[in-house]
Structure formats: C-alpha cells, structure tokens
Amino acid sequence: MPGLQAAFERIGDALERRLPLTHAAGVALAVTDVDETLGVVVRGFADAASGTPVTPTTRFQIGSISKSFAAAIAVQEAEAGRLDLRASINELLPWLDVPEPLGPITPHHLLTHTSGLIMGTEEAFGALAVAERLRDRAPGFEPGERFWYSNDGYKLLGLVLERVAGAPVDRLIEERVLRSLGMTHSEAAITNATRADLATGYAPIHDDRPARLTHPLVPAPWTVSNTADGSIVSDVVDMAAYARAMLNAGRPLVSSAAFERLVTPAIADAELPGFGYGYGWWVGTQDGRRRIRHSGGMVGYTALLAVDPDDGLGCVMLLNGAGDRDEVVRYALACVRTAVAGDELPDPYVAASPETIDGAGEYAGSYGALGVTREGDGLAVTLDGVDARLHGTSTRDAFLVADEGLDRFELRFHRDSAGGVVAASHGSAWFDRDGCDPLPIEPHPPAWDEYPGLYRSNDPWVPVIRIALRRGRLVRLATDSWEDPSEAPLVPLDDRTFRVGEEDWIPERISFDGVVEGRATRAMFNGGAWYRSFET
C-alpha cells in the first residue's frame, strides 16, 4: 500500500521531534491491523553509553499494561468456574485477613481498581509482603463506590489467580497468553537474566525534584519482579500480536462474552478523562472513536498500548525512560488510518514547546517578592534575583522553573473560590498576588514543625518524600521524576497521622515519628519507612 510508507515516514519524523522532549534515550512504535503488523518505527538508543540503537526487537518493560494480561487469566478462570469474581478475597485466600469494614473486597473490585485499597509502594517487595502489610490498611471507601488505582490490588489478584489455577502468575501468563499468541520474545517475570538483552532503563539524574528536560539521564535503579501488576518484558513486534488479539475481540485468549467483561467499564470517569475502567483496560472515546488502552510505567520505562476496534488498528509505543506517549500514538493511528483509507495524511507532527503555556496572561502580575511576566506565549519569573522561564506540565496551575537554583520545587498558582489566580507558592514559600485578598493562614499544632524535610527510602519508585509546612498546612511536594509532577495536602487524622489528599475517601496515609532535636527522623508512608536526609 503506497500510502503506508509515507505514513510511517511521517510517524518516524514525529518520534524524532518528540524524543528530545522526553526523559528517555530511545523509543519503538508499531502499528498493526487485525491481521498483521503494518510497520515499525524506532529511534534513539537502547543503551546510550555504548551507542546501541533501538531495533524492532529491542525489549522493554511494559509496566501496567501487564494488568490486562492478568485480567485475561481472571476471566478465563471465572468462565471455567474456578473463580468467583464476586467472592471476598478473604474467602479466596483464607490466610489473607485484609480488613473489610465497608463490605467484601472481591476480585471484581481488584480488577477494576474499585477496592478502596492504597495504591501501594514498592518498599515492601513482592506480593506476599504487600498482602501482610494490607492486614492493617482499611480501604478508604466502600468497595465498588469509586475508582482509585491500586497496584497492591493487582498484586493480590495475582495471589488469587495462583491459588485457583495452581501455578505462579508469571507462568500462567506465559503459558496462556504469551505462548498462545506466539509472543516468543516476551516473558512475564523480570529477573537478573532478563537484563542481558533489555534496553537500559533511564531516569533523570535528580530524584528529589520534578524532572526538567535539561536534567541529564542516568541508568535507572534495577528491579526484579513477578507480580501481576506489571512484570512483563516485551518488544513492539510481540506487543502488536497482543493488540491484534484485542482487535479480534480477545480471540484466541478469551470468549466473546469474557472479552465484553474485559472492556465494559465498571465505573465511569476514572482518572483518565473520557474513559472508564473495565478489567485491566481503560475504555472510552478519543478523537471521536472508541478506544481501548492502557499505559505502563516501570522504573526506567514507560509504555502505551491503544486499540481502535472500529478502525481495526492498534498501536504500541515503548520508551526506555519517561515521557508523554499519548500525542504520538494518536498521531500514528491517524496517519495509518488515513493511509489505509487512501485519504490525505495529517499535517506533519509539531511538538509544542514546553515554554508555551495556555492562558499565560491570567498568571502574569506581581506577587510581592515574586514577579510573573508574560513573554510571548509563555511566562517568565523573577525570584531571589533570578530571572527564569516557566515550563508547563499536564497539571493545571503547576509549572517547572527553568533554573538550577529554583527547580527543586514547582511554581504553583492558587485560586480563590471564584476561580481567580490570587497567590503562588514555591516549596514552602507563599506569595500573595498584589491587590487580592490574602487566603487565610491556618493555625497548626506546634508538633507539625517537626515534620517538614526530605525523607529517603530504598523504594525505587518513590525514593524521596518531601514535606513542607506552608501557611499552617503540611504539604507533600512533588519529587516525581517519572511522570508529571503533583503535590498533595496532608489532612490530619490524629496527632501524627495524615491522609495524603484532600478528599475524605483517599486511602493513602503518612505518619511521622522518631523525633530528635525537634525533627522527625522517619516518615511512615502506607506502611513503608522513609528516613530524614541531610538534604534541603
């Protein structure tokens, strides 16, 4: 098909334009139809130090896309009558003893992220350690009531599958999914042996602040794993075969009825706008088309698989590092769709500059010691005698400061009840906008002065927790180097324990102890321990 060559050339150009705007060394992308892989595009390095390029058979960790593989095993077991998706997980795993004060937590709830369980941390290694930790972690809401993404929930699901099917979950996935689809270059557990032919995972050099594009990349910490929430290693050729199974209504993996279970959202408006979550898949409408998709992230890797069942096309994108995948995957699907139809290709991909900020004018103004100036389509700030540009993020009102002395914290703008921008913050510093009524300062218990600081752990996902005290409120500041930054208020539950987030149903918890010379030395987050560092 003559148009396909031009389509994939245009997709390759898009990858070249996008890769420098990620925190990754290399990328691979494939598009398939219901019958075969239509094309593969690769750019960058599988290993930057040696100059080894990415190839179509370069393997990456696919992260949470693995959840959909576990979901396929779950519906197989349910259809065979060996798994009751509505039974309490404490009945299915009699030793488990997870609290169920608000009603039974079932495999259905685990599959759909509606269990109310914490998202989890990797400070506790492996599914059994997670299960033990969850024994004293009550859910934040009634199971089935709402969506809260939980890696720990899928780890429990893996334990359930192992019990009812009588084999380790990685072996189940390899035998029932990978071999069934001919995914011979994939495996369902990450071991040290896996590392021999895997793309090197990369992360920004700083783990104590939101990542900027100027931060150098370094090899990410190495982890091993065989849990059901994200332990598959694959390449884009094999993943295209998996996409074809989804394009063929789950065949040969599951029956038509079981496939409908996978792609029927249990709850609308999950954390991805316009999508609901089924069993291991987000399902919704994007670009005017029905789309089934899942993203993935591991330490040093990110991924996205998207399937358009009505167009009969699927696309997978794998990165050895972090970065937005959605834009390029949508563009790739549009290019191939128009090429197959014989229509004119979309315009060449243009990557937006990180300095381009929508609605920049509403932030410009004087905030006492902080000056914010509109410059073209972006913003510049003056703070502590430094002039710097702001870079946008996917979080509204949150920006990165393009200066080595100021990039440790986001610059965040704050709004009043009418939606107007009335203040800004940078770490613990607060700046009221000139001419606006100051937001109230809340009194706080003296003990809270002990908690601000930077805490470290061996958790490769969350090596750093940074706490600030700002206008009488404790805040967990952004330190995430893997995806876009965010911050969350700490809401007191008792004298030393806090909910991490404003809404009263959020299950995440943090507490502080080990006070020495007026400073807490330990932060306990979701049962894991982080210890105060000397860093500021």
Domain count, the chain: 4
Residues 216 and 311 in one domain: yes
Residues 29 and 176 in one domain: yes
In a domain, 256, yes or no: yes
Per the structure, the complete domain to which residue 401 belongs is given by: 360-432
- Per-residue model confidence as pLDDT tens for the chain (536 residues): 668 999 999 999 999 999 999 999 999 999 999 999 999 999 999 999 999 999 999 999 999 999 999 999 999 999 999 999 999 999 999 999 999 999 999 999 999 999 999 999 888 889 999 999 999 999 999 999 999 999 999 999 999 999 999 999 999 999 999 999 999 999 999 999 999 999 999 999 999 999 999 999 999 999 999 999 999 999 999 999 999 999 999 999 999 999 999 999 998 876 788 899 999 999 999 999 999 999 999 999 999 999 999 999 999 999 999 999 999 999 999 999 999 999 999 999 998 899 999 999 999 999 999 999 999 999 999 999 999 999 998 889 999 999 999 999 999 999 999 999 999 999 999 999 999 988 888 899 999 999 999 999 999 999 999 999 999 999 999 887 544 557 899 999 987 899 999 999 999 999 999 999 999 999 999 999 999 999 98
Residues 295 and 382 in one domain: no
Torsion of CA 316, 317, 322, 326, to 10 degrees: -70
Structure tokens at 212: 């900027």
In a domain, 440, yes or no: no
pLDDT digits (tens, 9 = 90+) for 198-209: 999 999 999 999
Residues 333 and 370 in one domain: no
Domain boundary among 165, 193, 212: 165
pLDDT digits (tens, 9 = 90+) for 72-82: 999 999 999 99
In a domain, 349, yes or no: no
In a domain, 352, yes or no: no
- Which pLDDT score is estimated for 536? 85
Helix (H) or strand (E) holding 158: helix 151-165
Residues 366 and 408 in one domain: yes
pLDDT digits (tens, 9 = 90+) for 364-377: 999 999 999 999 99
Residues 130 and 26 in one domain: no
In a domain, 197, yes or no: yes
In a domain, 437, yes or no: no
Residues 59 and 183 in one domain: yes
Q: What CATH number corresponds to the domain at position 412?
A: 2.40.128.50
Residues 173 and 264 in one domain: yes
Nearest by Cα to 427 from 377, 388, 479:
479
Separation in Å, CA 153 to CA 107, 304, 528: 9, 21, 17
Residues 177 and 76 in one domain: no
Residues 107 and 211 in one domain: no
Residues 38 and 130 in one domain: no
Domain boundary among 432, 467, 486: 432
Q: CA-to-CA distance for 288 and 124, rounded, in angstroms?
A: 42
Q: Is 368 left (phi over 0), alpha (psi -120 to 50) or beta?
A: left
Residues 52 and 98 in one domain: no
